[in-house]
Chains A and B, each alone.
Chain A
Amino acid sequence: EVQLVASGGGLVQPGGSLRLSCAASGFTFNNYAMTWVRQAPTKGLEWVSGISSGGGGRFYADSVKGRFTISRDNSKNTVYLQMDRLRAEDTAVYYCANDVTVANGRYFQYWGQGSLVSVSS
């Protein structure tokens, strides 16, 4: 059974930091790129960041570039999102997902349950 278990969320003050983790099982983790997608309360989905299967390629949405850092440890089947200089508008549920590339597209196949990040004073 595929599982993606996210952790590390919580309440943080503006300007603070958090590190999210996403532990994967049930599939060959190091064969897949991974991604983080967030959803602000009552809002839609927003892609945040992605990392290649080997970790050499890291990509960010403009809204988080320079503040968030994605990384992965393939020996632990885990992807991370280090979030610094957090703002109120970063408040959201953060989902991790594996990123599948096929001949005619790319999509997010398996999703974790989400980790809530609240930025407030």
Chain B
Amino acid sequence: DIQMTQSPSSLSASVGDRITISCRASQSISTYLNWYQQKPGEAPKVLIYAASVLQSGVPSRFSGSGSGTEFTLTISSLQPEDFATYYCQQSDTTPQVTFGGGTRVEIK
């Protein structure tokens, strides 16, 4: 099974900061990597698919990069509504998929 490891597990940042979240796969997954945002009490929402493709309607301050085993989600200018937990998910071993453990983003 492919393991997905996110870092950090949590971070605190100020409005306007640029933040990055890392996701590492235990083996190469090409660009079969998605990012989701989950706010407390809500269902997850897809932000990025195929490592770098922005889902329609998602603000352009979100971006994704990487391939193989190393991936990054970047928020270029953190907004108050970005307080949430972010998950990466690999879809290389379809139909089974696996999620990372999550990164909780807190606003200072």
Contacts and interface: CB of A to CB of B under 8 A. Distances in A.
A104 B101 contact: no
B45 interface: yes
A107 B43 contact: no
Listed residue (B43, B87, B89) with the most chain A CB atoms within 10 angstroms of its CB = B43
Interface residues of B, number: 27
B31 A50 contact: no
B34 A105 contact: yes
Nearest to B44: A111
Contacts of A107: 34, 46, 49-50, 89, 91
Contacts of B43: 95, 97, 111-114
A102 B50 contact: yes
A44 B96 contact: no
Interface residues of A, number: 23
A56 to B, nearest CB: 13
Contacts, number: 65
Interface of A is mostly: strand
Given A45-B99, A46-B99, A47-B96, A105 B91 contact: yes
A109 interface: yes
Given A47-B98, A50-B95, A107-B49, 18 more contacts: A44-B101, A44-B102, A45-B99, A45-B102, A47-B96, A95-B43, A102-B50, A104-B32, A104-B50, A105-B49, A105-B91, A107-B34, A107-B91, A108-B34, A108-B44, A109-B55, A111-B44, A113-B43
Interface of B: 31-34, 36, 38, 43-46, 49-51, 53, 55, 87, 89, 91, 94-102
Interface of A: 37, 44-47, 50, 57, 59, 61, 95, 97, 100, 102, 104-109, 111-114
